[in-house]
């Protein structure tokens, strides 16, 4: 059975990674799951400068989901290199840096500063961030900007470049095609779905930022549909995520067209979800007589 997935000229050993923002930089979860067995660790977003993040409360639970308003809280590129790289260097699984910014130039600057690090397998570009030069609308909502950002970042690195798409758009296929046209080596979808909770006792939004990002089982059908549509629209690998809690959920994503997966919110509920999902995928493949991940594709 071959579980590997090729992205650009590099191989992910298996399809089950852990999603950005839900796994820190790996260290916290080392006692709780076998990091070396992960298909990839997608780090918490890194921006050029440190960001303290949003005011609190930052979390609210919703039916079968949660809304977060973390606000890209991270230590910035300089401290990332000093404090996080040594541990990431010691890991045998691929480490994919989630890159964020408020300007095209900021994304570029992060990649320029870290690109010589062997510990980094590739990049996942978080284009759900508001573009301050574009009225605060997320980069990922406009195909023209997505293509431009992708092609300019592509020039800076030989490592695989994955564009992570936001579901908060009318036509996610158009965004995926723009990423592919810009030279993306893969696309990942979905990032969180915009959501809001009102506290009826305080008569105020539950979080100060008013809206936040919905994740967890509640968004799974949104993610599966996005993966299905995107995989029909592009010829690069599609990495599926959104609400994967177990192997059955993962298989749904693979059958819908995903070549690899990420476990996000489920890490909070069971820190070893990724291990269990990988085992379950292998069992499913054995039963179905599948020998490689591409056997999941083309059934409908």
Q: DSSP for the chain, please give it.
A: -B--EEETTEEESSSEEE-TTSSTTSGGGTTTS-GGG-SEEEPPPB-SS-B--PPSP-EEEETTEEEE---S-B-HHHHIIIIIHHHHHT-SS-EEEEE--SSHHHHHHHHHHHTT-TT--EEEEETTSB-GGGTT-BGGG-HHHHHHHHHHHHTT-SS-EEEE--S-SS-HHHHHHHHHHHT-SEEEE--PEEE--EETTTTEESSTTS-EEEESGGGHHHHHHHHHHHHHH-SS-EEEESS--SHHHHHHHHHHT-SEEEE-THHHH-TTHHHHHHHHHHHHHHHHT--BGGGGTT--
Smallest distance from ligand FMN to CB 88, Å: 16
Q: Which of residues 233-252 bind another protein (CB under 8 A)?
A: 245
- Closer by beta carbon to another protein, 150 or else 274: 274
Question: Does 19 help bind ligand FMN (rule: CB under 6 A)?
Answer: yes
Q: Judged by CB under 8 A, which of 102, 131, 166, 265 binds another protein? A: 265
To the nearest whole angstrom, how small is the minimum distance from the Cβ of residue 212 to another protein? 11
Distance of CA 286 to CAs 11, 15, 298, Å?
22, 16, 18
Site string for another protein, 7-46 (x = CB under 8 A): --------------xxxx---xx-xx-----------x--
Considering the candidates 67, 129, 153, 241, report the single residue annotated as catalytic: 129
What is the C-alpha to C-alpha distance for residues 179 and 127, in angstroms, rounded to an integer?
11
Q: Contact region for ligand FMN (CB under 6 A) — 24-32, 33-41, 154-162, 237-245?
A: 237-245
Q: Which does 45 bind (CB under 5 to 8 A by kind): another protein, ligand FMN, none?
A: ligand FMN
275 is a contact residue toward another protein (CB under 8 A):
no
How far is 27 from 89, CA to CA, in rounded Å?
12
Partner from ligand FMN, another protein, none contacting 172, C-beta within 5 to 8 A by type: none
Which of 185/252 has CB closer to another protein? 252
Q: Which of 47, 145, 150, 265 binds ligand FMN (CB under 6 A)?
A: 265
Q: Does 61 bind another protein (CB under 8 A)?
A: yes
Whether 189 sits among the annotated catalytic residues: the reply is no
Q: If you compute the radius of gyration of the chain from its CA atoms, what whole number of angstroms results?
A: 18
List the interface residues with ligand FMN, window 20-59 (CB under 6 A). 20-22, 44-45
Q: Please say which residue, 132 or 288, places its beta carbon nearer to ligand FMN.
A: 132
Instruction: Name the binder of 73 from ligand FMN, another protein, none, CB < 5-8 A by kind.
Output: another protein
- Please list the active-site residues: 129
Binding site for ligand FMN (CB under 6 A): 19-22, 44-45, 68, 70, 72, 98, 126, 164, 191-192, 215-216, 219, 241-244, 264-266
């Amino acid at each position: 059975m071959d579980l590997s997935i090729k992205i650009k000229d590099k191989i992910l050993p298996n399809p089950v990674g852990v999603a950005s923002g839900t796994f820190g930089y790996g260290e916290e979860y080392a006692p709780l799951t076998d990091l070396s067995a992960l298909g990839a660790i997608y780090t918490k977003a890194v921006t050029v400068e440190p960001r303290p993040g949003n005011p609190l409360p930052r979390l609210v639970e919703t039916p079968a989901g949660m809304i977060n308003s973390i606000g890209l809280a991270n230590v910035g590129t300089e401290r990332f290199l000093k404090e996080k790289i040594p541990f990431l260097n010691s890991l045998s699984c691929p480490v994919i840096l989630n890159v964020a910014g408020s300007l095209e130039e900021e994304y570029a600057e992060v990649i320029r500063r870290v690109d010589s690090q062997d510990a980094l397998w590739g990049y996942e570009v978080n284009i759900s961030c508001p573009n301050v030069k574009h009225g605060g609308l997320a980069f990922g909502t406009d195909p023209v900007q997505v293509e431009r950002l992708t092609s300019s970042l592509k020039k800076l690195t030989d490592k695989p470049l994955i564009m992570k798409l936001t579901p908060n758009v009318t036509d996610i296929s158009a965004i995926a095609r723009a990423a592919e046209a810009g030279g993306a080596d893969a696309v990942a979808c979905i990032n969180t779905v915009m959501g809001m909770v009102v506290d009826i006792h305080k008569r105020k939004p539950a979080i100060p930022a008013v809206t936040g990002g919905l994740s967890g089982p509640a968004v799974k059908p949104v993610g599966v549909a996005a993966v299905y549509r995107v995989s029909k629209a592009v010829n690069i690998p599609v990495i599926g995520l959104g609400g994967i809690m177990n192997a059955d959920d993962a298989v749904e994503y693979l059958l819908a067209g995903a070549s690899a997966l990420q476990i996000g919110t489920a890490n909070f509920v069971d820190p070893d979800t990724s291990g269990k999902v990988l085992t379950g995928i292998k069992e499913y493949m054995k039963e179905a007589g599948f020998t490689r991940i591409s056997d999941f594709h083309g059934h409908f």
